[in-house]
Amino acid sequence: MGKKWKNEAEQQAVFLVRKVRRAVNEFNMIQNGDRILVGVSGGKDSMSLLRLLMHWQRHSPQKYEIVAAHVRGDARGSDIEVPETFIRWLSEQGAPFEVRDIILPPNEPLPMNCERCGRNRRRTLFEIAEAYGCNKVALGHHLEDFAHTALLNLFESGRLETMAFRLDYFGGKFSVIRPLAYIREHELVRFSKVCDFPIWHSDCPMAPHSHREAARKLMLNVTRDFRSANINIVRAASRSSTTEKENK
């Protein structure tokens, strides 16, 4: 990467880290002494997350450690080839990393639906986190992902709710955090390009037919006329969730 590109990547990182810091501080995502497992799928979002958390690590008042993890597999199981370029990129980031096959229950029917696949991937990340002594698991969901989730919950269950910015599991043994909550997808597209990430996708056969993909396409149409639709949906879903908790 030339000097110009390196400087542009640094400028973008500084800009995006401000948004990461806002989410981290607002939702108490990172504390002093945390050991954070960053799930890295190979896409632009998770690769950006790892790079930004490592950038913030150098300046953060909270001292924390980072471990990177890639779960090999998709709806078809774990028989997925991971490109050497991606493995090499992980090894160059300066953090311990592990690539582990997705853990599946006995007799898990394949292909899995998106819900089952996500649950098994999360279980695998928790096992890696435990092996490395991590108490946080960071995932690369951006602002549009939160809006898509809110739409799915509204359509499927009649509840305007989105993903938690931070959610504790197993009595607080692990916390899942989403530090990219205030970052837009187009910002991650630009950042990944200037950083020249070796992005790859497993081409999961279930992805094009998922409800999440349908929500994504719907929001692409909506935002052509209503540019603030994503952030307003997330705000409404967050207020709705808070109100329900207060009324319980």
To 5 degrees, how large is the angle CA 54–CA 55–CA 58?
90
CA distance 86 to 97: 12
Instruction: Say if residue 243's pLDDT is above 70.
Output: no
- pLDDT (tens digit, 9 = 90+) per residue, 117-130? 999 999 999 999 99
Cβ neighbours, 10 Å, residue 84: 9
Full-model pTM: 0.92
DSSP assignment of 125-147: HHHHHHHTT-SEEE----HHHHH
**Alpha-carbon torsion 13, 18, 23, 29, what sign?**
positive
For residue 204, the model assigns a pLDDT of 76
Confidence of residue 171 (pLDDT cuts 50, 70, 90): very high
What does the pLDDT average to over 181-186? 97
Which of 42-46, 126-130, 240-244 shows the lowest per-residue confidence on average (mean pLDDT)? 240-244
Domain formed by 3-247, architecture? 3-Layer(aba) Sandwich (3.40)
Domain boundaries, the chain: 3-247
For residue 26, the model assigns a pLDDT of 95
For residue 7, the model assigns a pLDDT of 87
CA distance 9 to 144: 22
Cβ neighbours, 10 Å, residue 34: 18
